[in-house]
Structure formats: C-alpha cells, structure tokens
Amino acid sequence: MNTIDILLLGAGGREHALLKKLAESPRAGKLYVTPGNGGMFQLAEAAPISQDDPQQVASWAAEHSIGLVVVGPEAPLVEGVADAVRAQGIPCFGPNANAARMEGSKEFAKQVMARANVPTAAYKSFTDRAACEAYVRELAGPCVIKADGLAAGKGVIVAQTTDEALAGVAQCFDGAFGDAGKTVVVEEMLEGPECSLLALTDGTTVVPLATSQDHKRAYDGDKGPNTGGMGVYSPVPEHLVSADDLNTMVDVMNRVVAQLKADGITYSGCLYGGFMLTKDGPKVLEFNARFGDPETQVVLPRMHADLVEVFLACDKGTLDASSVLWDDDWAVSVVLASAGYPGSYESGKRITGIDAASQMPGITVYHAGTKLTADGDVLTAGGRVLDVTAVAPTFAQAREQAYAACDLIDFDGKQFRTDIGARAL
Ligand code: AMP
Ligand code: GLY
C-alpha cells in the first residue's frame, strides 16, 4: 500500500487525538505537526511554519510532497488555509474559508439555518450599538449576547438580567473581542442539557459520529466561568438524548450541508453541531467548522476507521458511511488544568505519572498544554494541560478508570472537575 506524508495543524488535545488515529492508519507515512505539543512530538516531526499563514502552509506542504494536510483549529480555516492547500493540488481535511463561515460568522450560520429550516434560538443581529441596547432593554429578561466573529470561545455572554446583557453588549462594542464584536447577535436563551454531534462530510454525504457531552464550566456542579471544556464523555445515553432527539440532530446536519450545497458552497471536513436539548426538542446553539476539543478525545478512540482514507474521501467527494464503524465501549475524558485556568495561570511545572497512567488498561493520556524539555521531561505549557481518557465496556468503569488515572498524574497546581459524567450515571 502506498503511504502518504501528512501535515497536521494545531496544538491541543484534539490534535494529539487526531495525530494518534492518523498514525494508526496503514496509509500514514511521515507525520509533521505545527505548532504541536509535548505529546505530539513523540509521534511527529515539527514543521517550522505558522499554521495561520495560508501561503506558507501551502508552499511548505508542496515542497515536502505532503499528501494530506489536516487542519485542527478554526482560525486557519477561516484564514483560508484549506483554499491555499487545495490550490496547490494537495488534499486537505477541513472546509474552505467560504464554508468555514459556519463558525467564523454567527450571522452567516443563522442565515443558513433559517434557509434550511433548522431549529435554533430566535435572534437579531446588530452593527449599531444604540439599536442593540434598545432591543436588549425591550427583551427585559434573560438573553444571550454573542460577538459575531471568532473570539476563541470567549465571545458568548449568557445574561440572566438586562444589566448583564447590557454589560455584554458594551464588551462587544468596546472591542473586548476585537473585530469579532463589531457585529453583535442577541439570542433567545435556550434551556436544557447540551449535546454535541460531530459529522464528517464531503459536501454531499454526511456521516454523523457518536454523540458526546462536554462540561464547559470550570468547577464541579457546573459552577464558575466558562472554559474550553473540562471533561467529556461519549456516547450520551438515551435517558439524556432520545432516539427522536438523535434523529432530529442528524437531520439538522444533513439539511445544513445540503443547504450550503444548494447555495453553491461545498462543505468538506468535520461539521460540529452544538445542540441544546430543550423541552421542544434539540435546537442548534452553534456550528463549528472543525472537530471539538475535548469531544474528539472521546469520539475518535471508539471509532473504527482508517482516518487517512476517510479524510481523503472527504476531500475527494467520495465519502461512504460504511467506512466508519463504532465500538460498543464508553469513553470518559477528564481535563487536568493549571491552577487559575481559565484566568491567568503559571506554566513550566514538571508533570509526573503520565507513563504510569498510560499503562493502565484502556487509558490514553492526550497532551494539550505541554512541552518537552531537552532531557525528555514534560512541563505544563497551557491552561488545559492533559486529557486523561478511559475507554471501557461500561460507563461506570470508564469513569472510575479515568479518575484512577488522574490520581497517578501530578503537577504543581493540578486542577480538575470530579463530576465529569456524573449526570449520565
Ligand atoms: P458557543 O461558543 O456558541 O458554543 O456558546 C458557548 C456556550 O454558551 C454554549 O455551550 C452554551 O452553554 C451557551 N449558550 C450559547 N448560546 C446559548 C443560548 N441561545 N441559550 C443558552 N445558552 C447558550
Ligand atoms: N468543546 C467545545 C468546542 O470544541 O468548541
């Protein structure tokens, strides 16, 4: 079988999980990453380029005869990295900039949803501050304020009162989220448990992946500030997501991809649907143009597929649902974070116990914010440091093993939630 060399962009636990799965493919040749992290450099070589520079990525990939570029995070997609790579005739996993607007512009995503008749929160969009404030006052109650553009997961203010909403509007228009906040979306507040559904697509065929549930708040009991995600499990059991709910969610993914196609936009890559399971059924909170982090860390380990072949098929337009099968196992992933995250935190703390934890049955420790020293020590280098992931035949076992593995790992300031998946038990 002929192998191909692969360049992966990104540096999080998501990318470590993608890299590990790509490395397992018989099609994988040499693997390169940028910017990468301490765990990824054990599997791949560093590419000395910036992931956010489309021309640089595309030229480097061409010079090194790369056969597939995989884009992990959203920013390079919105910048047009996939367009530049494809323009060199190199297959790329991830949507072109035009299609990545599903994440890059909330207003764009809302318009597509309206045309596709997809259930989502009612909204209004504003570029005028006074009009936006007047509307929030008129609502006189809970609402959600969103900066229109990319804000690294921070541009959403869930406001219980008019004062909180006005403060959110002020943050956006005062530039707290840069240009992302020049357009502001005001949404109806939805209530219920959240559920993520990732889907692979080549622009026509949509292959839904397993459901998962992230835990966004920093502390136990869903208290504290929003984070990038503190832990996740998959699949979401039926008492939380009914078969009807799942059908609705899959239908939404299909309808959105079909709508984009009808609008002349081929969406190829991973489409991430974030849903609120309201009493009136699932409604879309947001779409992302890439795999979720930490969702990927529980979805990929349960997936039976040759990820290189599947990613190439997404690019080529030959995706086939039969190429992806699932384990019956359960997966739970607990994020070990630095003290102070999501606020300011210290880096450079030595991490011990990763090898011991990794030797436990069913455990994989994905690196997120880590770096390797010349002596081979692993140091903390970010807010979210490690994703300790367990796969086991029952949910209870997976959860128990994940937490047992967390206890084996130590670093100064280690912080984690002790209730990941408690709701599903
Ligand atoms: P997003 O970055 O759009 O996923 O929003 C971050 C989080 O804000 C979501 O995971 C939800 O917890 C919350 N959120 C977003 N939109 C709404 C909404 N319309 N109603 C209630 N909560 C929301
Ligand atoms: N886990 C949330 C996200 O990837 O956006």
Question: What's the confidence (pLDDT) of residue 177?
Answer: 83
153 pLDDT above the threshold of 70: no
For residue 370, give every residue at least 6 positions away whose Cβ sits within 8 Å of its Cβ, in sequence order, or none.
37, 38, 39, 351, 378, 379, 380, 381, 382, 385, 386
Residue nearest to atom 9 of ligand 1 (CA): 285
Of residues 251, 263, 252, the one with CA closest to residue 108: 263
Report the DSSP pairing between strands 184-187 and 143-147: antiparallel
What is the 3-state secondary structure of 165-227? HHHHHHHHHCCCCHHHHCCEEEECCCCCCEEEEEEEECCCCEEEEEEEEECCEEEHHHEEEEC
Percent of all residues in the chain with a pLDDT value above 70, rounded to a whole number: 100
Residue nearest to atom 4 of ligand 2 (CA): 292
Mean pLDDT confidence for 143-161: 83
Residue nearest to atom 5 of ligand 2 (CA): 292
Distance of CA 340 to the CA centre of its chain: 22
Report the DSSP pairing between strands 281-288 and 217-219: unpaired
146 close to 176: Cβ distance less than 8 angstroms: no
Question: What's the confidence (pLDDT) of residue 314?
Answer: 97
Quote the tokens at residue 276. Answer: 């609120």
Residue 195 CA to residue 92 CA, distance in Å, equals 28
Mean pLDDT confidence for 161-190: 86
**Ligand 2 centroid, distance to 131 Cα (angstroms):** 31
Question: What's the confidence (pLDDT) of residue 130?
Answer: 87
Q: Which ligand is nearest to the CA of 274?
A: 1
Q: What backbone phi and psi angles, to 5 degrees, belong to 379? A: -115, 155
The answer to whether the peptide bond before residue 54 is cis (omega within 30 degrees of 0) is no
**Ligand 1 centroid, distance to 359 Cα (angstroms):** 37
pTM: 0.94
181 pLDDT above the threshold of 90: no
Residue 37 CA to residue 369 CA, distance in Å, equals 7
**Ligand 1 centroid, distance to 374 Cα (angstroms):** 41
For the CA of 153, the nearest atom of ligand 2? 5
Which single residue is written with the structure tokens 């998959």?
Answer: 234
Residue 219 CA to residue 417 CA, distance in Å, equals 6
Query: Which of the pair, 397 or 133, is modelled with greater confidence?
Result: 397
Residue 392 CA to residue 332 CA, distance in Å, equals 9
Residue 120 CA to residue 188 CA, distance in Å, equals 9
383 DSSP 8-state letter: S
Q: Which ligand is nearest to the CA of 296?
A: 2
Mean pLDDT confidence for 331-349: 96
Q: Is the CB of 229 under 6 A from ligand 2?
A: yes
131 pLDDT above the threshold of 90: no
Of residues 212, 297, 215, 205, the one with CA closest to residue 246: 212
- Check residue 237 and give left, alpha or beta (phi > 0: left; psi -120 to 50: alpha): beta
Average pLDDT, the chain: 94
For the CA of 229, the nearest atom of ligand 2? 1
409 pLDDT above the threshold of 70: yes
Mean pLDDT confidence for 45-60: 97
- pLDDT-based confidence at 225, cuts 50/70/90? confident
Report DSSP letters for 82-99, one per residue: HHHHHHTT--EES--HHH
Q: Which of 276, 277, 284, 288 has most ligand 1 atoms within 8 Å of CB, for mutation?
A: 276
For the CA of 155, the nearest atom of ligand 1? 2
For residue 258, with 0-12 CB atoms within 10 Å meaning exposed, 13-18 middle and 19 or more buried, which class applies?
A: middle
For the CA of 288, the nearest atom of ligand 2? 5
**Ligand 1 centroid, distance to 228 Cα (angstroms):** 12
Q: Which ligand is nearest to the CA of 74?
A: 2
187 close to 281: Cβ distance less than 8 angstroms: no
Q: Which of 198, 271, 295 has most ligand 2 atoms within 8 Å of CB, for mutation?
A: 295
Quote the tokens at residue 78. Answer: 């919105």
Q: What is the CA radius of gyration of the chain?
A: 21
**Ligand 2 centroid, distance to 103 Cα (angstroms):** 11
Q: CA dihedral in degrees (178, 184, 188, 194; nearest 10)?
A: -30
305 close to 294: Cβ distance less than 8 angstroms: no
Question: What's the confidence (pLDDT) of residue 226?
Answer: 83
Q: Which of 214, 234, 298, 335 has most ligand 2 atoms within 8 Å of CB, for mutation?
A: 214
Q: Which ligand is nearest to the CA of 228?
A: 2
Q: pLDDT tens, 262-307?
A: 999 999 999 999 999 999 999 999 999 999 999 999 999 999 999 9
Mean pLDDT confidence for 108-125: 94
Alpha-carbon torsion (156, 157, 160, 163), positive or negative:
negative
